[in-house]
Amino acid sequence: MVFADYLLEHDSPLGELISLQLQRARTGDAITEHELELVTTHGRRLLDPATVWLSTWVLERGFLHSATPIERGIPLEAAHHPLWSTVERLALLDGDAHPVLDNPHLRSLRTLHLGDQVAAKLAMRTAPLPCRALSGTRPHVGLGIERPEAFDHRGAFDRVRELSLVGWSLDGAPGMRGFLDRRLFKQLDYLDLTFSTVGQGVLAPWRAWFDASLLTTLSVQLPFGRPQQFAHVEIDQAGNTAVVQLDAPSGDQITELAARIVELAGPRTRLEVEDVRDSNHCAERQVELITALRSSFTEVVIASGPVHPRVP
């Protein structure tokens, strides 16, 4: 805020952008056309010299927050620039391990989005990366298990405590349960599973495994509706509450979705329902799902005010 005031006194558009984004972070309001104009007009200039080496980027508080660098060819001057010091989310396309990961300024990195190929290559490194969470490169898609060597890393993922993974049936092919004994799973606090489809009876074994594990939190991305939407369901070891979070109004397959939520929640009798689009109107937007869930939980609490996605 002090920096924004200083910049405003010197007629810098970055000062106004920082102020607007700080205010929006506090209130949870939607982005305005004026803020978009500031980002479009001045954003790339603010990100020099790395601008031309980014395929996507997001500014928060006026600084680089999320970025996808191009796959190859980025010079060390740009890859090791101090502007990467504020990056919290970094997405890497499949290819070689990226030079940005060796940037000594990359201390704020929390979530690394990557594919199986890059994950397997990074797992060979012994120096720990600064990230706390690993996930896939696309929304609602976690890492796969096609390259299991990534989960027996040599030290690269020592600081990782949250993992988003493509879900599977624990009662499926032999060896699937043994996969969970690999090194990375033993250090996790939070495991997020993403299912493209999930039938009856798939989630109960995962809940039983979680209840016997040392993990703090298990979450599941459940698909439903047409076009496909996702509900995020989260349970903790401590407490009697399950949380369901949606980013779109409930569509068809509500009865099936409610059944999967109940299956994952197990003996938990309290449910919190959140809407990342507009929790102030969650009760009206999600009325069909809430009605379906009230018969299965002793208490259903509807969130109000700004909420943020819980996925790593």
Q: Give the CATH number, domain containing residue 279.
A: 3.30.750
Task: Judge whether 109 and 102 are in contact, CB under 8 Å.
Answer: no
In which residue ranges of the chain is pLDDT below 70? 94-97, 172-175, 226, 250-251, 312
Domain containing 275: what range?
A: 218-312
Rounded distance between C-alpha atoms, residue 127 and residue 106, angstroms: 14
The pTM of this model reads 0.88
- For residue 49, being part of any structural domain is answered with no
Structure tokens at 43: 């954003």
Specify the pLDDT at position 44.
79
Q: Quick check: is 185 in a domain?
A: no
pLDDT value of position 251:
65
Sequence-separated (6 or more) residues with CB below 8 Å from residue 12: none
User: What is the domain count for the chain?
Assistant: 2
